[in-house]
């Protein structure tokens, strides 16, 4: 009897010890699992922070085309819309983007593709003020420890580079035309003078030489504008030779130089509101060029008669404000953000317009104004009023 009691007691003790050991093991496992979860959360948090620091939108997409992760840039593009758990077709408004990513998911091969969207929306649906945008879709399969098939997607905004390339292409076409046409005219007249014996005809020779000089000046203007803008954008500081001069005198010099063009087009300077005593302490050479380019630009963009140009300069709230406005055809809203970019021309079709220019005038104006510490802006209501307004700090006044 005593032996049986001892055995029962020993069994109870062993059972209790075993239960205690199992409990300790369970607690250790739970503690380890908790530690693993914390490590996993920390790793995911660190991953998210790193991916949020990227300058490009980053997505992780599973094999069923559902988005399982989107970084901060991607979330910013959609302005708060939920991405995780949504399919690519739901996330992207333009199917060009989802189709590009689906190629990678379907083939399992890395791909990189540029997509140009000609709409007022970003790839993920957020409104944008750009009429066109360009994006590089970079997608590749991702190896995971869990064996889950994921595809990482990087969406890079390359609109600035795309527009720059477009501008360069337009410039090559414009410069080729602007150089080839006057050169052909000059060579044609030279051939007539020399090969056809017209050099002895003084009246004809004088007429031909006058035309040749005009087209030679066009070539010189193009080359000069290219050299000026190249110097301004080279990073080299523009040398400002300051002197005190009357703004009215500077405007009058410009109008005198453009008098023949104004009369030929039937344009009118309807208002010239410039105080007689308003001075600028600035580089007169650059300011003559600034004002000349603004007035000439209004004339070139509006070759039809009855154009009215308003010029005003005044001191307002400690600043000098100068404006050149006209009632011409105006600038389309799609072009307005880009008119100060070099080589950008609103009218790009020579065959449809008599406008001649290098596409550098307004770019030179902007950089020359900024070199004096000023700011230039443009507003336009096509067919009603287009204004270029320059604001200068008071220290520009003498």
From CA 278, how far away is CA 97, in angstroms rounded?
Answer: 56
CATH number, domain 243-398, options 3.30.565.10, 3.20.20.10, 3.20.10.10, 3.90.79.10: 3.30.565.10
Write the CB contacts of 109 (distance below 8 Å, at least 6 apart in sequence).
141
Across the chain, which has 398 residues, the per-10-residue mean pLDDT values are 71 75 80 74 65 77 85 75 79 76 84 78 53 83 77 86 74 69 82 78 83 81 69 59 88 88 88 86 87 90 88 88 92 84 61 52 85 90 91 69
What pLDDT, in 10s, does the model give residues 194-208?
877 777 778 888 888
What rounded mean pLDDT belongs to the chain?
Answer: 79
Classify residue 277 by burial, with Cβ atoms within 10 Å: 0-12, 13-18, 19+: exposed
Asked if residues 211 and 255 have their Cβ atoms less than 8 Å apart, the reply is no
The whole-number pLDDT of residue 52 equals 67
If you write DSSP's letter for every residue of 312-377 in order, what string do you get? EEEEETTEEEEEEEE-SS---TTTGGGTTSTT--S---GGG------S-HHHHHHHHHHHTT-EEE
DSSP annotation of 231: H
Asked if residues 293 and 364 have their Cβ atoms less than 8 Å apart, the reply is yes
The whole-number pLDDT of residue 114 equals 86
Residues in the chain: 398
The whole-number pLDDT of residue 352 equals 41
From CA 221, how far away is CA 210, in angstroms rounded?
Answer: 17
The whole-number pLDDT of residue 294 equals 92
DSSP annotation of 72: H
The whole-number pLDDT of residue 271 equals 82
From CA 110, how far away is CA 151, in angstroms rounded?
Answer: 9
Domain ranges within the chain, ordered by starting residue: 1-53, 54-157, 160-236, 243-398
CATH class of the domain comprising 160-236: mainly alpha
CATH class of the domain comprising 54-157: alpha beta
The whole-number pLDDT of residue 377 equals 93
Please state the pTM of the whole predicted model: 0.52
The whole-number pLDDT of residue 213 equals 84
DSSP annotation of 238: P
Give the count of alpha carbons within 13 A of 131, CB side only.
Answer: 8
Domains 54-157 and 160-236 share a fold: no
The whole-number pLDDT of residue 354 equals 46
């Amino acid at each position: 009897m005593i032996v049986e009691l001892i055995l029962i007691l020993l069994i109870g003790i062993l059972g209790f010890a075993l239960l205690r050991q199992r409990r300790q093991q369970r607690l250790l496992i739970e503690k380890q699992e908790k530690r693993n979860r914390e490590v996993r959360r920390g790793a995911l948090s660190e991953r998210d922070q790193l991916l949020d620091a990227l300058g490009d939108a980053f997505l992780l997409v599973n094999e069923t085309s559902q988005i399982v992760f989107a970084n901060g840039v991607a979330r910013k593009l959609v302005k708060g819309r939920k991405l995780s758990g949504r399919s690519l077709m739901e996330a992207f408004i333009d199917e060009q983007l989802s189709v590009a990513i689906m190629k990678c998911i379907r083939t399992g091969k890395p791909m990189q593709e540029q997509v140009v969207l000609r709409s007022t929306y970003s790839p993920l649906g957020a409104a944008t003020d750009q009429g066109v945008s360009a994006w590089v879709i970079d997608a590749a399969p991702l190896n995971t420890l869990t064996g889950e098939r994921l595809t990482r997607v990087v969406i890079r905004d390359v609109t600035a580079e795309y527009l720059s390339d477009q501008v360069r292409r337009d410039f090559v076409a414009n410069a080729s035309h602007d150089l080839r046409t006057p050169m052909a005219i000059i060579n044609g007249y030279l051939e007539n003078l020399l090969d056809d014996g017209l050099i002895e005809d003084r009246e004809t020779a004088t007429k031909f030489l006058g035309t040749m000089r005009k087209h030679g000046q066009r070539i010189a203007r193009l080359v000069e504008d290219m050299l000026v803008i190249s110097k301004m954008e080279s990073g080299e500081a523009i040398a400002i030779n300051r002197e005190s001069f009357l703004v009215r005198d500077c405007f009058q010099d410009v109008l005198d130089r453009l008098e023949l063009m104004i009369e030929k087009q039937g344009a009118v300077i309807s208002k010239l509101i410039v105080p007689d005593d308003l001075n600028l302490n600035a580089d007169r050479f650059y300011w003559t060029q600034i004002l000349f380019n603004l007035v000439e630009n209004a004339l070139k963009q509006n070759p039809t008669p009855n154009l009215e140009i308003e010029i005003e300069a005044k001191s307002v709230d400690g600043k000098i404000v100068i404006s050149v406005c006209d009632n011409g055809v105006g600038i389309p809203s799609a072009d307005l953000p880009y008119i100060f970019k070099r080589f950008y021309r609103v009218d790009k079709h020579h065959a449809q317009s008599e406008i001649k220019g290098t596409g550098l005038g307004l770019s030179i104006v902007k950089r020359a104004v900024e070199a004096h510490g000023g700011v230039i802006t443009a507003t336009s209501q096509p067919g009603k009023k287009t204004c270029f307004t320059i604001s200068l700090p008071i220290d520009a006044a003498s």
